[in-house]
């Protein structure tokens, strides 16, 4: 696999090159650049499989480069020292990012994901990332769900519920569509908490908008507007009842 590194700090560039040589020897670095202008010239000459892209460059941002080349086939791995708002944006967009200084295990994991997803287009995810990172005080209205076959960007309000399947998660949408994502329910619980989602059971995360009623018999369960019945864990019953009473 081939890669280029776009980084305007010489020391950070050298460290990432050394880390890739040591931990990801299957990656061949075919070019480096330290600015938008240099990057554009480089991408007119080479077509890498992966681009390691810093966000803040001397003459612009990584997003400026992506706008110049809207049809890039390379997988993008952002390398950044960004703040918590940017990290939130990366997570909602399901775009790979590495925080400086880069940890070797996370670097290897990001490269492995890139290798497995080379055939997938991530343009919508990158657009979502750009939109979210430029409005840091707003809650994202969409989330990118990265599956083995595609990258689906969905409206958060259209998510009825999420259900754990081992270390993976099923998303059930208002349309009835189901999307299988290879990330844990716990990760999505943390991401969607401020979007009026509630974890009612170890395996179930629900959108409060879709709860129809709470049935007290048979141990207690929730009936959703789409007809699904979702069990409520014993330790969660008081919290669920309190939330429903105050909706």
pLDDT tens for 109-161 read: 889 888 877 666 677 788 888 788 777 678 889 999 988 788 889 999 999 99
pLDDT at position 173 is 97
Rg (CA), the chain: 21
User: What is the rounded CA–CA span in Å between residue 89 and residue 95?
Assistant: 9
pLDDT at position 95 is 79
Mention every residue, 6+ apart, whose C-beta is less than 8 A from residue 47. Answer: 73, 74
Of 21 and 117, more confident: 21
pLDDT at position 108 is 92
CB 240 within 8 A of CB 214: yes
| Domains of the chain listed by start with CATH number | 2-133 (3.40.50.2300), 154-245 (2.40.50.1020)
Task: Return the top range by mean pLDDT from 12-16, 86-90, 128-132.
Answer: 12-16
| Helix/strand number for the chain, H first, E second | 8, 17
Of 162 and 58, more confident: 162
Burial 72-103 (b: 16+ CB within 10 A, else e): bebbbbbbbebeeebebbbbbbbbbbbeeebe
- Window from 17-31, 129-143, 215-229 with minimum mean pLDDT: 129-143
pLDDT band at 6 (very low <50, low <70, confident <90, very high): very high
Other beta carbons less than 10 A from residue 158's beta carbon: 15
SS3 assignment, position 18:
helix
């Amino acid at each position: 696999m081939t890669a280029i590194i776009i980084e305007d700090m010489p020391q950070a560039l050298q460290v990432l090159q050394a880390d890739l040589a040591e931990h990801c020897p299957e990656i061949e670095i075919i070019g480096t650049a330290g600015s938008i202008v240099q990057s554009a010239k480089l991408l007119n000459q080479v077509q890498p499989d992966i681009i390691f892209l810093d966000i803040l460059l001397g003459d612009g941002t990584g997003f400026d480069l992506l706008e110049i080349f809207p049809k890039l086939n390379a997988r993008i791995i952002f390398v950044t020292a960004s703040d918590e708002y940017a990290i939130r944006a990366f997570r909602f967009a399901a775009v790979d990012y590495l925080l400086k200084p880069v940890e070797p295990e996370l670097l290897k994991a990001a490269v492995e994901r890139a290798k497995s997803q080379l055939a997938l287009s991530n343009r919508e995810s990158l657009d979502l990332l750009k939109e979210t990172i430029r409005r840091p005080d707003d809650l994202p209205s969409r989330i990118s769900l990265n599956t083995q076959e595609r990258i689906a960007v969905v409206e958060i309000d259209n998510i009825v519920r999420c259900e754990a399947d081992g270390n993976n998660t099923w998303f059930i949408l208002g349309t009835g569509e189901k999307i299988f994502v290879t990330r844990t329910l716990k990760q999505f619980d943390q991401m969607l908490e401020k979007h009026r989602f509630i974890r009612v059971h170890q395996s179930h995360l629900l959108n409060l908008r879709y709860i129809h009623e709470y049935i007290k018999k048979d141990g207690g369960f929730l009936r959703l507007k789409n007809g699904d019945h979702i069990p409520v864990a014993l330790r969660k019953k008081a919290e669920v009842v309190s939330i429903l009473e105050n909706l």
